[in-house]
Structure 1
């Protein structure tokens, strides 16, 4: 069962696709649903995506596809036929709309920016009230936050000092994933997670650093790495 806002959003997306051949921007969806921020739109889209109503098309910042409609949508009569001329007109209309469609916009959403995180020896992870604008195409479903990377222990994984780690909030991770790990409730670090017998090993991606080994109760997963942002000066 969809919420009223989810129902309203999927109908708006479908209507815009039928009219223009292009899914609406996050700003347009925010205005259409009378929401206060685009982060609310992102949460609605993530929920619809997780439930199989829509999907994001890869490699495009503004591309949504409606996979199925809510149950109360009225399908066309079974066995209904469409004349050849009408079918040709429909195909021509869709082709024309695709040709005339504007280039996809780079929709941006704001996610919390929680200070700095070590890619070296653990340092304190600072909680803050700042936010970071992120292209929506970089984020999948779920809740995300950002941390600024400090240090060079993950450079062989392509993660450099000053990068912004985009993190999916979760308290579980598979062996070998890059995670934000809170150590002893005080310090946070970005490392590969490995469960080694009765211990937890946090591995760097830099031969100059040694793995860090802790008891399982000393390490708490706070998120999995979902992407990176890098600024060039």
Structure 2
């Protein structure tokens, strides 16, 4: 259960509550609740809010959906069968204004379920612009090294060759890149594509209590 527990830190408190409700209903009744039942339980104004939470839980790997069944949700239980992987903590990255992030300082143990093929590294988060995604100041994130990302993925982006920031990635039709945080009080960063280089995509989150 180690990987599952560590991945729970990647959820907001509301997402954890929704996941717990779905899991409880499946255990009690053998079937997942409907979007209407989720909405009524949490007092959502519409089923669209329930759908949003379910979609996020599916995208983050906590739920699986069977499209051929009306209540086709199952909870994913990841139990590691291999030892933890040691990754280098290569510095800090801003979830706010960009900051420098160079210099290897330490290693940290990472659940193997977070690490797939390719090179991975760990960064310490500084700032609050990703807090609505459950990423807090002081957290450590696991990053898969790559220079490519799909629209909407959370990336570590290098700006002007020397400043790194953690943001959602959106390429625009006019050739600019929009780097958007998960905090409604903060404005996105919009830059020419030539000034932005993706260093990796977010694949996991670690938090020490």
Cα drift, residue 208 of structure 1: 1.1
Cα drift, residue 165 of structure 1: 0.7
Residues in 2 aligned to 1:143 and 1:124: alpha-carbon distance in whole angstroms: 21
1:201 lines up with 2:188 in the alignment: no
How many residue pairs end up in the alignment? 133
Matching residue within 76, 83, 89 for 1:107: 83
Tell me which stretches of 4 or more aligned residues in structure 1 moved more than 6 Å: none
TM-score with structure 2 setting the length: 0.61
2:162 maps to which residue?
186
Which runs of structure 2 are paired with 1:1-16 in the superposition (5 Å)?
none
Residues in 1 aligned to 2:85 and 2:77: alpha-carbon distance in whole angstroms: 18
Cα drift, residue 126 of structure 1: 2.2
Residues in 1 aligned to 2:121 and 2:133: alpha-carbon distance in whole angstroms: 20
2:199 maps to which residue?
222
1:121 lines up with 2:97 in the alignment: yes
TM-score with structure 1 setting the length: 0.55
Greater gyration radius: 1
3-state DSSP of counterpart to 1:125: coil
Cα drift, residue 140 of structure 1: 1.9
Q: CA RMSD in A?
A: 1.5
Residues in 2 aligned to 1:129 and 1:118: alpha-carbon distance in whole angstroms: 17
Partner deviation per Cα, 1:189-225 (whole Å, 9 max, x = no partner) = 0000001121000001001110000000100000000
Cα drift, residue 129 of structure 1: 4.1
Residues in 2 aligned to 1:195 and 1:202: alpha-carbon distance in whole angstroms: 9
Residues in 1 aligned to 2:103 and 2:145: alpha-carbon distance in whole angstroms: 14
3-state DSSP of counterpart to 1:156: helix
1:138 maps to which residue?
114
Residues in 2 aligned to 1:140 and 1:109: alpha-carbon distance in whole angstroms: 11
3-state DSSP of counterpart to 1:113: strand
Partner deviation per Cα, 1:17-63 (whole Å, 9 max, x = no partner) = xxxxxxxxxxxxxxxxxxxxxxxxxxxxxxxxxxxxxxxx961200x
Residues in 2 aligned to 1:171 and 1:202: alpha-carbon distance in whole angstroms: 15
Residues in 2 aligned to 1:129 and 1:162: alpha-carbon distance in whole angstroms: 15
Which runs of structure 2 are paired with 1:17-32 in the superposition (5 Å)?
none
1:175 maps to which residue?
151
1:98 maps to which residue?
none
Partner deviation per Cα, 1:106-133 (whole Å, 9 max, x = no partner) = 6111111111100000001122142111
1:32 maps to which residue?
none
1:60 lines up with 2:79 in the alignment: yes
